[in-house]
Amino acid sequence: MVYRLLKLGHPRRVAHYFKNLAPGIFLQELCAKPGAIGAICPSSPYLARRMAQQVPDGDGLVIELGGGTGVITRALLKRGIPADRLIVVELSSSFVQRLRERFPDVRVVHGSAAELAQLIPQGERIRAIVSSLPLCSLPAPISRAILEQWRILLNDEGIAVQFTYNLRRPGWRDLLRAEEIGSATVWANLPPAQISTFSFKTRKLTPPRHEHHSS
């Protein structure tokens, strides 16, 4: 099969081959935009459930970045996130169309996570940002812009959840100014994934004590 793929040569012929071999929007998007997808198959239900479990209880919006085929979107709804408090941001128009068909009660926004602040309601408290974005394969300026949006929007409230297939420290972590407050490895995924949870809460320094000396 690999040999036959190599013989195909042109990327468009490879995409057409996969489309006919294994029909499915994920494979079509993977062939068309491999850097934007960043995976060889959709997230497993195990990974999706663990991602959803990281979202704390409470009020506020939950923002999902990179909704893809909707595996994590469904897990978030099963977790108990109300459909009207969930916003999914997706860059691929094909995925956007599919998500809107599968989840008609969820607001699905077609846009870039690097411009997140412009895509969501102003003044709303955000409980969590749940990201499936392939930060390892995105250009550093785009990853930096995305992570900066997290810092601006979450500030002292809410958390960010991100998974990566790089089980070592990925490069985008050097761009992230946040505290890791949780970590878990999901082996029941292809490939295995590392889930990290971050807080952007500013550490408050304790005022120094002033000793009073009796005269």
pLDDT, tens digit, 9 for 90 and up, residues 82-98: 999 999 999 999 999 99
pLDDT recorded at residue 42: 62
Q: Dump pLDDT digits (tens) for 117-138.
A: 999 999 899 999 999 999 988 9
* 26 and 88 inside one domain: no
Is residue 19's pLDDT more than 60? Answer: no
Domain that holds residue 33: 12-37
* 31 and 107 inside one domain: no
pLDDT recorded at residue 73: 97
CB-neighbour burial class of residue 213 (10 A; exposed 0-12, middle 13-18, buried 19+): exposed
| CATH number, domain containing residue 183 | 3.40.50.150
Is residue 45's pLDDT more than 60? Answer: yes
* 188 and 88 inside one domain: yes
pLDDT recorded at residue 34: 44
Tokens of 125: 């408290």
* 25 and 86 inside one domain: no
Is residue 212's pLDDT more than 60? Answer: no
Which SS3 state, helix, strand or coil, does residue 21 take?
A: helix
* 25 and 123 inside one domain: no
- Beta partners for residue 126, in sequence order: 61
* 102 and 32 inside one domain: no
Is residue 3's pLDDT more than 80? Answer: no
Is residue 172's pLDDT more than 50? Answer: yes
CB-neighbour burial class of residue 147 (10 A; exposed 0-12, middle 13-18, buried 19+): buried
Whether 4 is covered by a domain: the verdict is no
* 125 and 87 inside one domain: yes
Which SS3 state, helix, strand or coil, does residue 100 take?
A: helix
- Beta partners for residue 197, in sequence order: 161, 182
d(CA 111, CA 108) in angstroms, rounded, equals 9
Domain count, the chain: 2
Nearest Cα residue to 194 out of 161, 153, 154, 145: 161
* 77 and 118 inside one domain: yes
Query: In the predicted model, what is the mean pLDDT of residues 157-186?
Result: 87
* 92 and 127 inside one domain: yes
Going by the DSSP 8-state scheme, the letter that residue 211 receives in this structure is: -
pLDDT recorded at residue 137: 87
pLDDT recorded at residue 12: 55
pLDDT recorded at residue 62: 98
d(CA 130, CA 133) in angstroms, rounded, equals 9
Which SS3 state, helix, strand or coil, does residue 126 take?
A: strand
Report whether 119 contacts 109 (CB < 8 A): yes
* 135 and 160 inside one domain: yes
Mean pLDDT of the chain: 80
Phi, psi values for residue 153, rounded to 5°: -80, -35
